[in-house]
Amino acid sequence: NAGVTQTPKFQVLKTGQSMTLQCAQDMNHEYMSWYRQDPGMGLRLIHYSVGAGITDQGEVPNGYNVSRSTTEDFPLRLLSAAPSQTSVYFCASSFWDGGPHNEQFFGPGTRLTVL
């Protein structure tokens, strides 16, 4: 099993450009999430999905779009990149049955710089 994979590992964008961060998992997890990590702020939830066709907003959704057409893939789209979106982005997946356990398996991250 590859677990959670993310591409690309590094990306530099100019302000106003758009791009898609890819995330895929092979563990048949229904629950997938996108986080951003900034120094001193832990991880903040951007968007999440409880299954194919269902997505919802997290703490910091502005400037990002997601879709979930398959169980395996959960891409994150930046519509018009801004310097404030410079961050490290992590995708995660988990098995969640509605109970207290929602242990996340994280990908290796994408380091994004917006100039």
Stretch that binds other proteins, among 13-21, 61-69, 72-80, 104-112 (CB under 8 A): 104-112
Q: Does 26 bind other proteins (CB under 8 A)?
A: no
Q: Does 61 bind other proteins (CB under 8 A)?
A: no
Q: Does 103 bind other proteins (CB under 8 A)?
A: yes
At 71 the three-state DSSP class reads: coil
CB of 15 to other proteins, least distance (A): 26
Residue with tokens 């395996």: 72
The residue from 1, 2, 28, 101 that contacts other proteins (CB under 8 A) is 101
The residue from 24, 109, 112, 114 that contacts other proteins (CB under 8 A) is 109
What residues have CB less than 8 Å from 67, skipping those under 6 apart?
55, 75, 77
| Helix and strand counts by DSSP (H, E) for the chain | 0, 11
Report how many residues bind other proteins under the rule CB under 8 A: 30
Compute the half-sphere exposure of residue 22: CA atoms within 13 Å on the CB side of its CA: 7
Contact 71, 93 (CB under 8 A): no
Nearer of residues 83 and 108 to other proteins, judged by Cβ:
108
